[in-house]
A and B are shown apart, each in its own frame.
Chain A
Amino acid sequence: MTLTDLTLTEARDGLRQRRFSSRELTEAHLAAIEALNPRLNAFITVTAERARTQADAADAAFARGDAGPLAGLPIAIKDLFCTKGVRTTAGSDILGPFVPPYESTVSGNLLRDGAVMLGKANMDEFAMGSSNMTSAYGAVENPWKRRQDREAVLVPGGSSGGSAASVAARLALGATATDTGGSIRQPASFCGIAGIKPTYGRCSRWGIVAFASSLDQAGPVARTVRDCAALLRSMAGHDARDSTSVDCPVPDYEAACSRGVKGLRIGVPREYRADGMPGEIDTLWQQGLAWLRDAGAETIDVSLPHTKYGLATYYIVAPAECSSNLARYDGVRFGLREGAEDLTDLYERTRARGFGAEVKRRVLIGTYVLSAGYYDAYYLKAQKVRALILRDFTDAFQRVDALLTPTAPSAAFAQGENMDDPIKMYLNDVFTVPASMAGVPGMSVPGGLDANGLPLGLQVIGRPFDEETVFAVAAAIERAAGFSHRPAIRAGNGA
């Protein structure tokens, strides 16, 4: 038995049955990180000693019989979550050596339930990116390889690229991630794993470095739908410290994974066919629908007419909020400070040096769209369109219980591709952004491989706070797909 090949829930059951210890499980993952992280660069910070201490504490809890639901399970934490006493970078130079004196609610919930933190996962700077290429701590390599082109180094997607790559390569059983316009679902699709962006308000944003406050939402990535269900149950819940967190009970998501889809109505939005989308993605989509029909669901064509405006409005709303959220990185109180002549000079030097090109681009766009004279034409209009996008979903959910779409318009691309034009990069999010704008839950589940042997994901979108149906549909696809492919680079197989 290779411990790193276990799914999170299998490892959980093994620990409970005392077939192995958390210390053994953790050491196996630390060894895999030691072997592969120099190549994959999935972790910015590895907290090996802390992980061992937490593993020993979990083993002691098992011995006492009071182990928590995730006791002893080694996971990665995206470096956007503030972790008490552990450096948190948000993938940016501007946070410098910042060590938060507090623990984010979501990572704190996982620690409360006994999870073991292996380290902080790499990510696009401030979660802005779809390839992990914007990280100030270097690109992350996708552990998958093209069959025909073994030399090409592929991107893991982004922004949660380190989280997805570490889970795919079996350096961690699961990971926290965040999704603002697709940052959980697209990397999950690129790395052949599962990932869910829950409903906006389901997980507390407290202690997560903010990108776009009205869109940011935490969620898990893991190798199975059930693993995601187990992680989300611990991560979710109302938090009085986040005014946008919603006080509604967190159900047993794992139970929902076994529900089946018999009698469910699955919507097929006709607008989710991107120009130039590979035919095999459309084929996989049709296959997914067929699997669901075979499992007893009914598929229904629906229209989400404002889908085509999703990306444009997203790239107004998200930069607007980010331009304001990132104003606090000014060199005055924490993080990077560049020596300066006066206050303006301090701002200019610190921010010029500390922020990367993509962050600067979005801060500039956001500042522009909020400016006097442009606010109505851009920000206000975008908010109106956003309301229409939500109405599209609300209308569709009158007729169907969930929607099925492709997660991304392509498989993982190579480092350097799509880099010449930001718009091309933004198009990666075309299928994930609408659910973000509407605040509804969306999950990517691996459906199959493309001709190059790269994983492709299908996206399940559900009603607000109905993650249970999303899990049920995603689990049904997972069962039917029987996706058992593994990436070329993985623990025990350094390639």
Chain B
Amino acid sequence: MSYTIEGSTGSWEVVIGLEVHAQVISRAKLFSGAATDFGAAPNTQVSFVDAAFPGMLPVINRECVAQAVRTGLGLAAHINMVSRFDRKNYFYADLPAGYQISQYAHPIVGAGTIEIELADGSTRAIGVTRLHLEQDAGKSLHDQHPSLSYIDLNRAGVALMEIVSEPDLRSPEEAGAYLRKLRTILRYLGTCDGNMEEGSMRADVNVSVRPHGAPFRTRCEVKNVNSVRFVMQAIEAEARRQIEVWEAGGTVEQETRLFDAARGSTRSMRSKEDAHDYRYFPDPDLLPLVLDEAWVAELEAGLPELPDARRRRFIAQYGLPAYDSGVLVAEQATADYYETVAKGRDAKLAANYVMGDLFAALNRTGRGIGDSPVSADALGALLDLLADATINGRIAKEVFEAMVETGEHPAAIVDRQGLRQVTDAGAIDAAVERVLAANADKVGEYRGGREKLFGFFVGQVMKAMAGKGNPGLVNAALRKHLGETGE
């Protein structure tokens, strides 16, 4: 069932398009050699080009172009072999040249697709309209002095990819899935770290509403939303605002709005009348960007396996459910970890351990897969101890927790704590006899038909054996002693 919002006049469909600004991973800026490290002291990563000193000229950074092409290829998009840079003119204190160099009329990447997966297991293909390269602006600091603003130009000139979607999204959930999927792809490609908290990925959200099946209505743009959660909240808030306007007999005006996360609502930033006239024109300091076919082919050959392909492979190769595969490939490091554990082992069991015990442990310890207290090799070794019946499943859980605590190798923990499972028939028989003798009443009930009690006996025997009994042998011994030699 598709997402709708019920208004007083009927149900409304929400139409969403996203413009994502993704900071390109590159050592130097788009048109200068200055560094791009996050968090450096203000104005320490600024060249004369970035500060727009007289006579300074931009020179395109090849690596930034390569990153844009890789991203385009990763989005299955058309690569434009000839693209062009334009100037977007406006005055602001943190825009040193008085114009931003961007690609307006002829972007480097054309139409592509992002496949999103939704909670109900369905997938949808969302159109990507275009991707273009542009410079970031600097930062205005208004809180450093009572009456003056300070300017930090470290970010000025850093390369951004603006990735524009078609208005194909129909719910906050879809928008969230799109952003997460885009982030996953960018991280796989190594073209953007996708870190929304640090601002290296930001979204402008275009929202309109319409009665079901009606033509598109006027949209509003909610600028600079900096988390997936806020994007989803902003869409709902803005959609509800627009529905109220329409239902009250009003008209939604095209405008730029801001999302106030604290209030959970959007407010007007500037109306269409106040919109800038950016006076775009081709930047005469730069020649058209002409790509070489062989170079693009080389970049394509160097692409990693992307999340969709990897998910399909996990399903086929490891026999995992689609959901598990999706979870495991969401982060490249997780997928790599999983494959190390699964290699030559029970793939489903490996998935259960990674998605269950490991994720829980990471959550609890506040760590990521990259600095997991349990290495993929160590988890693999634990599964090996299970596979060769050195320990049983229950003990394995204990050993895993000890591994999280100590970082020790599972075999060492098993040896030191004497956790090897008992397969000696005599010892098991003895434990079974003790338990049945101590619970004669329950034995009677069981024989009288309360077969559920079998589990109780298993538990008691395991307890008597400090959990180390081989579960299969314990079951067999119990059945024998309770007078059943199997079905």
Q: Which residues of A contact B (CB under 8 A)?
A: 81-82, 88, 90, 95, 98, 100-102, 104, 205-210, 212-214, 240-244, 320-321, 323-324, 326-328, 330, 332-334, 343, 347, 367, 370-372, 375, 379
B51 / chain A contacts, CB cutoff of 8 Å: 333
Is B323 part of the binding interface, using a Cβ–Cβ cutoff of 8 Å? Answer: no
Is B91 part of the binding interface, using a Cβ–Cβ cutoff of 8 Å? Answer: yes
Min CB distance B98 to A, Å, is 2
Cross-chain pair count, CB within 8 angstroms: 98
Q: Are A324 and B93 in contact (CB under 8 A)?
A: no
What 7 pairs between A and B have smallest CB-CB spacing?
A: A327-B98, A370-B279, A214-B284, A213-B284, A328-B52, A207-B55, A209-B54
Q: Select one of A102, A210, A243, A327 contacting B59, CB under 8 A.
A: A243
Q: Are B277 and A100 in contact (CB under 8 A)?
A: no
Is B97 part of the binding interface, using a Cβ–Cβ cutoff of 8 Å? Answer: yes
Q: Which chain A residue lies CB-closest to B49?
A: A241
Q: Select one of B55, B279, B287 contacting A209, CB under 8 A.
A: B55
Min CB distance B58 to A, Å, is 7
B281 / chain A contacts, CB cutoff of 8 Å: 320, 324, 370, 375, 379
Q: Are A328 and B54 in contact (CB under 8 A)?
A: yes
A240 / chain B contacts, CB cutoff of 8 Å: 59
Known: A241-B59, A332-B151, A347-B91. A88 touches B277 (CB 8 A): no
B97 / chain A contacts, CB cutoff of 8 Å: 327-328
Q: Are B48 and A102 in contact (CB under 8 A)?
A: yes
Q: Are A372 and B277 in contact (CB under 8 A)?
A: yes
Is B315 part of the binding interface, using a Cβ–Cβ cutoff of 8 Å? Answer: no
Q: Are A343 and B93 in contact (CB under 8 A)?
A: yes
Q: Tell me, in angstroms, the Cα distance from A102 to B60 when the chains sit together.
A: 21
Q: Which chain B residue lies CB-closest to A204?
A: B57
Q: Which chain B residue lies CB-closest to A320?
A: B281
B57 / chain A contacts, CB cutoff of 8 Å: 205-206, 241-243
Q: Which residues of B contact A (CB under 8 A)?
A: 48, 51-60, 87, 89, 91-93, 96-99, 149, 151, 277, 279-281, 284-287
**Interface CB pairs A-B, < 8 A, 24:** A100-B55, A102-B48, A102-B53, A205-B57, A206-B57, A207-B56, A209-B55, A213-B284, A241-B57, A243-B59, A243-B285, A244-B285, A244-B286, A324-B98, A324-B279, A327-B89, A327-B91, A327-B97, A327-B98, A328-B96, A333-B53, A343-B92, A371-B277, A379-B281
Q: Are A370 and B89 in contact (CB under 8 A)?
A: yes
Q: Tell me, in angstroms, the Cα distance from A240 to B287 when the chains sit together.
A: 13
Q: Tell me, in angstroms, the Cα distance from A88 to B151 when the chains sit together.
A: 25
B96, B149, B151 — most chain A CB neighbours (10 Å): B96
B96 / chain A contacts, CB cutoff of 8 Å: 328, 332-333
Q: Are B55 and A98 in contact (CB under 8 A)?
A: no
B92, B284, B287 — most chain A CB neighbours (10 Å): B284
A343 / chain B contacts, CB cutoff of 8 Å: 92-93, 149
Q: Which chain B residue lies CB-closest to A367?
A: B279
B53, B93, B151, B279 — most chain A CB neighbours (10 Å): B279
Min CB distance B149 to A, Å, is 8
New A-B contacts (16) at CB < 8 Å, excluding given A333-B53, A333-B96, A343-B93: A102-B48, A206-B55, A206-B57, A208-B55, A243-B60, A324-B98, A324-B279, A327-B97, A332-B151, A333-B51, A334-B53, A334-B54, A371-B279, A372-B279, A375-B279, A375-B280
Q: Are B287 and A101 in contact (CB under 8 A)?
A: no
Min CB distance B424 to A, Å, is 79
Min CB distance B106 to A, Å, is 14
Min CB distance B62 to A, Å, is 12
A95 / chain B contacts, CB cutoff of 8 Å: 54
Q: Are A330 and B98 in contact (CB under 8 A)?
A: yes
Q: Which chain B residue lies CB-closest to A383?
A: B282
Q: Tell me, in angstroms, the Cα distance from A286 to B77 when the chains sit together.
A: 61
A242 / chain B contacts, CB cutoff of 8 Å: 57, 59
Min CB distance B323 to A, Å, is 49
A327 / chain B contacts, CB cutoff of 8 Å: 89, 91, 97-99
A324 / chain B contacts, CB cutoff of 8 Å: 87, 89, 98-99, 279, 281
Q: Are B52 and A333 in contact (CB under 8 A)?
A: yes
A330 / chain B contacts, CB cutoff of 8 Å: 91, 93, 98
Q: Select one of B53, B93, B98, B149 contacting A100, CB under 8 A.
A: B53
Q: Tell me, in angstroms, the Cα distance from A49 to B91 when the chains sit together.
A: 41
B52 / chain A contacts, CB cutoff of 8 Å: 328, 333
Min CB distance A345 to B, Å, is 12
Q: Tell me, in angstroms, the Cα distance from A469 to B151 when the chains sit together.
A: 52
Q: Are A213 and B279 in contact (CB under 8 A)?
A: no
Q: Select one of B55, B98, B99, B151 contacting A210, CB under 8 A.
A: B55
B51, B54, B55, B58 — most chain A CB neighbours (10 Å): B54
Q: Tell me, in angstroms, the Cα distance from A101 to B96 when the chains sit together.
A: 17
Q: Tell me, in angstroms, the Cα distance from A243 to B290 when the chains sit together.
A: 13
B48 / chain A contacts, CB cutoff of 8 Å: 101-102
Q: Which chain B residue lies CB-closest to A334?
A: B53
Q: Tell me, in angstroms, the Cα distance from A328 to B48 when the chains sit together.
A: 12
A82 / chain B contacts, CB cutoff of 8 Å: 54-55
Q: Tell me, in angstroms, the Cα distance from A205 to B151 when the chains sit together.
A: 28
Q: Which chain B residue lies CB-closest to A104?
A: B55
Q: Tell me, in angstroms, the Cα distance from A371 to B54 when the chains sit together.
A: 25
A209 / chain B contacts, CB cutoff of 8 Å: 54-55
Min CB distance B287 to A, Å, is 6
Q: Tell me, in angstroms, the Cα distance from A243 to B57 when the chains sit together.
A: 8
Q: Which chain B residue lies CB-closest to A372?
A: B277
A372 / chain B contacts, CB cutoff of 8 Å: 277, 279
Q: Tell me, in angstroms, the Cα distance from A205 to B285 when the chains sit together.
A: 9
Q: Which chain B residue lies CB-closest to A239?
A: B57
Min CB distance B152 to A, Å, is 12
Q: Tell me, in angstroms, the Cα distance from A314 to B91 when the chains sit together.
A: 25
Q: Which chain B residue lies CB-closest to A240?
A: B59
Q: Tell me, in angstroms, the Cα distance from A62 to B267 when the chains sit together.
A: 73
Q: Select one of B54, B56, B60, B93 contacting A88, CB under 8 A.
A: B54
Q: Tell me, in angstroms, the Cα distance from A334 to B91 when the chains sit together.
A: 16
B149 / chain A contacts, CB cutoff of 8 Å: 343
Min CB distance A447 to B, Å, is 34
B151 / chain A contacts, CB cutoff of 8 Å: 332
Min CB distance B399 to A, Å, is 61
Min CB distance B154 to A, Å, is 14
B89 / chain A contacts, CB cutoff of 8 Å: 323-324, 327, 370
